[in-house]
């Protein structure tokens, strides 16, 4: 299956194509892959993350589906 | 050093110092501005008349080396909301006042000559005097800062507090500018029209010299240093205060709010902006670096988080600070403008005129919705904004904020609570912040109880932003904690570390106790927060506010916001529970 992956702040360098940037791009995954599987596949640093799956918060255990938009942020805040 | 009140009466142009009354001895910052406004301003006073008072107060830890402890509170009755106002700013004045022994600068009365302009100068020996500066009338904040510099002796170190042309004109969206560590008048007590209160008092500028002053001494120096070390380590250690904020600034939020569907776009009609990344913190950081701008520094001396930055134009010249997230949103997504240079131009204009960028961006979006100019028209927005000089239209109407603009141009969708515009989080998909907007004594104000922490950022736990459950309790606890931090003089961004790291929370009362020599513990700190809010709540009740004022505008309950098609679902009963502690606290304080 294919999901649409966007990575932000200092995580953008982990896009598999190595081009960085925040624009989303497709990622091929095996059926049943979870958010945690994507983190492992990309080699994301072991730190708390903010994961938004189709605009809603998701956990590492959340399973992905074809066509999902997956956005991952490091710990950030502002105001 | 004894903490005193410096009282300036603009009616007879007198200046005097007096002891801080014992009843207010444990107050600083917001608690102290509230206590003074509560005691001295009749709730029905005309905000621009002689009975309003304008109070500037550093926090309890102002003047010390406590990290991020140099914020300043400005209090008065607000011309925008009609209620009590505490508007909080960075800049250098908080520390400078505290180091001169001034716990509160209280400005009363109005001058006999409404066209007169005065400058109050506080020298580093604590003496103060008023001088007539009619020639400064109408000056923008940047030129005013230059004029002030010409009056100061070589090698002086001073802070400025200024009102711009919008404040002089009585504009309800005007703010008060504070100089930053480099002397730029770019930090703002922006919200609630306090620039107009300063303008009505004929006070164009305040200068506070703290040349030669070091940090204030502590009751227990060793205990203070030990607590300071633990607090500073926690701020460094936490990923938000130690890494994300210095690297990207507050505007790192643009992309995440857009992804979460909570970035109000084109006057709160959508929740995601297609050009979010073009105006977000990552792009901002890359551009500032490429142009050779200053990418991270504190808004005041002693800040260790360093989320401020300077935007520079294509030739590398300083344009404005930030822009902060709120401004990138208000003139960006909310106005459909997707270019940081265009946003920075509007930010600079507001900074120079002395206008609140949150209120003005939200106002411009309302104006755009009227069809007078199109969404995305940055040139038209700048022209409309600048047209307010000398009473010109439509600018002078816009300068009174979103509610006035909606009324003048027949726009129904006006995002305000208690007449103050909503900031950069839509309350439909982020319901906790909706509780804060609705119930805050300040009008719609994200900083009053920043539920984005648990709603979006997974800081201090997590509460699903798309459900009404638990939002009132979350907002209530954050509003109390925020009032406490504002009274200590801390930047509220320390809360990101305080909420997650127990040693950082403990350090708050340890610092307060070691500095003042009085007993402080977690319960006493929370009581300080409750007392602060109780002053505000009771003042507003006396000014005529009721439960009906603690509601969001109707369209947030009925118009579904894409992409989640969310509406605001927190019940009125939940909203009315937020201040359930007030009657008891008022009784304890003897206000009932």
**How does residue B337 score in pLDDT terms, banded at 50, 70 and 90?**
very high
Quick one: B48 and B168 in the same domain? yes
Q: Which domain holds residue A34?
A: 2-73
**How does residue B479 score in pLDDT terms, banded at 50, 70 and 90?**
very high
Of B245, B259, B492, the CB nearest to A55: B259
Question: Is the pLDDT reported for residue A79 higher than 80?
Answer: no
**B240 closest CA partner among B253, B228, B230:** B253
Angle of helix B522-542 relative to helix B471-488, nearest 10 degrees, comes to 100
pLDDT per residue as tens digits for the range B485-523? 999 999 999 999 999 999 999 999 999 999 999 999 999
Token pair recorded at residue B50: 């002689």
pLDDT > 70: percent of chain B = 100
Number of domains comprising chain A: 1
| Cα B577 off chain centre by | 25
**How does residue B137 score in pLDDT terms, banded at 50, 70 and 90?**
very high
Rg (CA), chain A: 12
How far apart are the C-alpha atoms of B171 and B203, rounded to whole Å? 15
Q: What is the mean pLDDT of residues B391-418?
A: 97
Q: What is the mean pLDDT of residues B573-581?
A: 98
**Any domain includes A24:** yes
Backbone phi, psi, residue B128, to 5°? -140, 145
Question: Is the pLDDT reported for residue A77 higher than 90?
Answer: no
**Any domain includes A41:** yes
pLDDT > 90: percent of chain B = 97
Which carries the bigger pLDDT value, residue B434 or residue A20? Answer: B434
Token pair recorded at residue B462: 């997590």
Identify the pLDDT of residue A78.
81
CATH number at residue B395: 1.10.569.10
Contacts of A23 in chain B (CB under 8 A): 277
How far apart are the C-alpha atoms of B69 and A30, rounded to whole Å? 51
**Any domain includes A40:** yes
Q: Which domain holds residue B281?
A: 263-425
**Any domain includes B525:** no
Q: What is the mean pLDDT of residues B404-422?
A: 98
Q: Any residues with CB less than 8 A from the CB of A46 and at least 6 apart, and which?
A: none
Instruction: Tell me whether residues B281 and A78 touch, CB distance under 8 A.
Output: yes
CATH number at residue A52: 3.10.20.30
Quick one: B390 and B292 in the same domain? yes
**Any domain includes B296:** yes
Sign, Cα dihedral of B115, B128, B216, B505:
negative
Say if residues B221 and A17 touch (Cβ distance below 8 Å). Answer: no
Question: Is the pLDDT reported for residue B143 higher than 80?
Answer: yes
**Any domain includes B450:** no
**Any domain includes B170:** yes
Q: What is the mean pLDDT of chain A?
A: 95
Instruction: Tell me whether residues B326 and A79 touch, CB distance under 8 A.
Output: yes
ipTM of the complex: 0.97
Of A55, A74, A77, the CB nearest to B564: A55
How many C-alpha atoms does A53 have within 13 Å on its Cβ side? 17
- Per-residue CA distances from B456 to A57, A65, B459, B589 (Å): 8, 23, 8, 36
Q: What is the DSSP string of chain A?
A: -EEEEEE-GGGGGGSTTS--SS--EEEE--TT-BHHHHHHHHT--SS--EEEETTEE--TTPBP-TT-EEEEE-S----
Of B260, B446, B458, the CB nearest to A79: B446
**Any domain includes B431:** no
Instruction: Tell me whether residues B457 and A48 touch, CB distance under 8 A.
Output: no
pLDDT per residue as tens digits for the range B192-250? 999 999 999 999 999 999 999 999 999 999 999 999 999 999 999 999 999 889 999 99
Question: Is the pLDDT reported for residue B407 higher than 80?
Answer: yes
Of A6, A47, A79, the CB nearest to B250: A79
Number of domains comprising chain B: 2
Quick one: B204 and B271 in the same domain? no
pLDDT per residue as tens digits for the range B311-332? 999 999 999 999 999 999 999 9
Q: What is the DSSP string of B382-398?
A: HHHHHTTGGG-TTHHHH
CA angle B588, B590, B592 (to 5 degrees): 95
Instruction: Tell me whether residues B459 and A79 touch, CB distance under 8 A.
Output: no
Q: What is the mean pLDDT of chain B?
A: 97
Instruction: Tell me whether residues A76 and B457 touch, CB distance under 8 A.
Output: yes
Identify the pLDDT of residue B326.
98
Question: Is the pLDDT reported for residue B464 higher than 90?
Answer: yes
Backbone phi, psi, residue B131, to 5°? -130, 150
How far apart are the C-alpha atoms of B533 and B107, rounded to whole Å? 22
Say if residues B237 and B501 touch (Cβ distance below 8 Å). Answer: yes
With CA atoms as reference, the chain B residue closest to A58 would be B464
Identify the pLDDT of residue B342.
98
Identify the pLDDT of residue A64.
98
CATH number at residue B27: 3.60.9.10
Question: Is the pLDDT reported for residue B467 higher than 90?
Answer: yes
Instruction: Tell me whether residues B259 and A47 touch, CB distance under 8 A.
Output: no
Question: Is the pLDDT reported for residue A28 higher than 80?
Answer: yes
**Domain boundary, last residue among B147, B175, B209:** B209
Quick one: B182 and B287 in the same domain? no
- Per-residue CA distances from B243 to A9, B42, B260 (Å): 11, 46, 22
CA angle B267, B259, B241 (to 5 degrees): 100
**Any domain includes A49:** yes
Quick one: B51 and B130 in the same domain? yes
**Any domain includes A47:** yes
pLDDT per residue as tens digits for the range B63-85? 999 999 999 999 999 999 999 99
Q: What is the mean pLDDT of residues B147-154?
A: 98
Say if residues B495 and B485 touch (Cβ distance below 8 Å). Answer: yes
pLDDT per residue as tens digits for the range B108-135? 999 999 999 999 999 999 999 999 999 9
- Per-residue CA distances from B238 to A7, B67, B297, B566 (Å): 21, 14, 18, 32
**Domain boundary, last residue among B181, B209, B237:** B209
**How does residue B286 score in pLDDT terms, banded at 50, 70 and 90?**
very high
Quick one: B200 and B269 in the same domain? no
Contacts of A35 in chain B (CB under 8 A): none
Separation in Å, CA of A47 to nearest CA in chain B: 9
How far apart are the C-alpha atoms of B204 and B165, rounded to whole Å? 9
**Domain boundary, last residue among B404, B425, B446:** B425
Quick one: B326 and B403 in the same domain? yes
Q: What is the mean pLDDT of residues B272-289?
A: 97
**Any domain includes B362:** yes
**Any domain includes B78:** yes
Of B282, B446, B450, the CB nearest to A9: B282
**Any domain includes A79:** no
Instruction: Tell me whether residues A47 and B253 touch, CB distance under 8 A.
Output: no
**Any domain includes B295:** yes
**Any domain includes A53:** yes
How many C-alpha atoms does B93 have within 13 Å on its Cβ side? 31
Query: What letter would DSSP give residue B181?
Result: T
pLDDT > 90: percent of chain A = 87
Identify the pLDDT of residue B295.
84
Tell which of B254, B257, B259 to mutate to test the A interface (max A CBs under 10 Å).
Answer: B259
pLDDT per residue as tens digits for the range B203-214? 999 999 999 999
Instruction: Tell me whether residues B244 and A74 touch, CB distance under 8 A.
Output: yes
Cβ pairs A/B, distance under 8 A:
97
How far apart are the C-alpha atoms of B195 and B165, rounded to whole Å? 9
Say if residues B303 and B465 touch (Cβ distance below 8 Å). Answer: no
**Any domain includes A43:** yes
Tell which of A22, A51, A77 to mutate to test the B interface (max B CBs under 10 Å).
Answer: A77
Quick one: B43 and B162 in the same domain? yes
Separation in Å, CA of A24 to nearest CA in chain B: 11
């Amino acid at each position: 299956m294919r999901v649409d992956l966007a990575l932000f702040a200092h995580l953008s360098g982990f896009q598999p194509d190595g081009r960085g940037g925040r624009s989303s791009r497709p990622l091929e995954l095996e059926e049943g892959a979870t958010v945690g599987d994507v983190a492992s596949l990309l080699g994301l640093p072991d730190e708390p993350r903010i994961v938004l799956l189709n605009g809603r918060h998701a956990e590492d255990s959340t399973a992905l589906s074809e066509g999902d938009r997956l956005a991952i942020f490091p710990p950030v805040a502002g105001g | 050093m004894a903490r005193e009140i410096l009282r300036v009466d603009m009616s007879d142009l007198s200046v005097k110092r007096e002891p801080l009354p014992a009843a207010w001895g444990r107050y600083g910052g917001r608690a102290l501005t509230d206590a003074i406004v509560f005691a001295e301003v009749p709730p029905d006073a005309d905000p621009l008349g002689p009975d309003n008072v304008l109070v500037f107060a550093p926090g309890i830890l102002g003047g010390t080396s406590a990290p991020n402890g140099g914020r300043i509170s400005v209090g008065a009755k607000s011309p925008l909301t009609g209620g009590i106002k505490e508007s909080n700013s960075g800049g250098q004045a908080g520390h400078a006042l505290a180091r001169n022994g001034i716990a509160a600068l209280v400005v009363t009365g109005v001058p006999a000559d409404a066209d007169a302009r005065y400058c109050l100068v506080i020298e580093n020996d604590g003496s103060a005097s008023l001088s007539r500066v009619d020639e400064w009338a109408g000056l923008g904040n940047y030129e005013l800062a230059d004029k002030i510099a010409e009056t100061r002796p070589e090698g002086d170190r001073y802070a400025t507090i200024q009102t711009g042309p919008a404040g002089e004109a009585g504009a309800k969206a005007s703010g008060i500018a504070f100089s930053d560590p480099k002397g730029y008048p770019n930090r703002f007590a922006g919200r609630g029209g306090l620039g107009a209160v300063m303008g009505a008092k004929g006070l164009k500028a305040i200068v506070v010299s703290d040349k030669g002053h070091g940090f204030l001494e502590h009751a227990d120096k060793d205990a203070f240093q030990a607590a300071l070390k633990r607090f500073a380590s926690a701020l460094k250690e936490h990923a938000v205060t130690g890494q994300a904020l210095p690297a990207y600034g507050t505007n790192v939020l643009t992309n995440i709010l857009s992804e979460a569907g909570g970035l109000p776009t084109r006057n709160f009609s959508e929740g995601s902006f297609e050009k979010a990344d073009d105006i977000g913190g990552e792009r901002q950081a890359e551009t500032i670096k490429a142009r050779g701008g200053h990418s991270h520094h504190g808004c005041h001396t002693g800040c260790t988080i360093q989320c401020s930055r300077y935007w520079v134009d294509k030739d590398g010249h300083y344009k404005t600070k930030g822009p902060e997230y709120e401004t990138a949103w208000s003139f960006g997504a909310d106005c459909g403008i997707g270019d940081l240079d265009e946003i920075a131009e509007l930010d600079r204009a507001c900074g120079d005129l002395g206008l609140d960028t949150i209120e003005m961006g939200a106002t411009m979006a309302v104006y755009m919705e009227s069809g007078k100019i199109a969404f995305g028209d940055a040139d038209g927005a700048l022209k409309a904004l600048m047209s307010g000089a000398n009473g010109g239209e439509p600018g002078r109407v816009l300068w009174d904020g979103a509610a006035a603009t909606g009324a003048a141009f027949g726009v129904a969708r006006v995002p305000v609570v208690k007449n103050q515009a909503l900031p950069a989080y839509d309350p439909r998909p982020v319901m906790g912040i909706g509780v804060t907007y609705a119930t805050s004594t300040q009008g719609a104000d994200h900083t009053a109880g920043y539920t984005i922490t648990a709603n979006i950022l997974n800081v201090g736990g997590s509460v699903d932003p798309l459900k009404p459950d638990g939002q009132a309790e979350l907002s209530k606890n954050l509003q109390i904690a925020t009032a406490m931090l504002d009274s200590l003089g801390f930047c509220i961004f320390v809360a990101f570390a305080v909420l997650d790291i127990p040693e950082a929370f403990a350090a708050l009362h340890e610092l307060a106790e070691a500095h003042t020599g009085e007993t402080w513990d977690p319960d006493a700190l929370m009581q300080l927060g409750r007392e602060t809010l109780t002053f505000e709540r009771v003042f507003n009740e006396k000014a005529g506010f009721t439960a009906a004022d603690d509601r969001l505008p109707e369209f947030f309950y009925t118009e579904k916001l894409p992409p989640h098609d969310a509406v605001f679902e927190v019940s009125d009963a939940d909203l009315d529970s937020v201040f359930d502690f007030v009657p008891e606290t008022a009784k304890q304080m003897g206000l009932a």
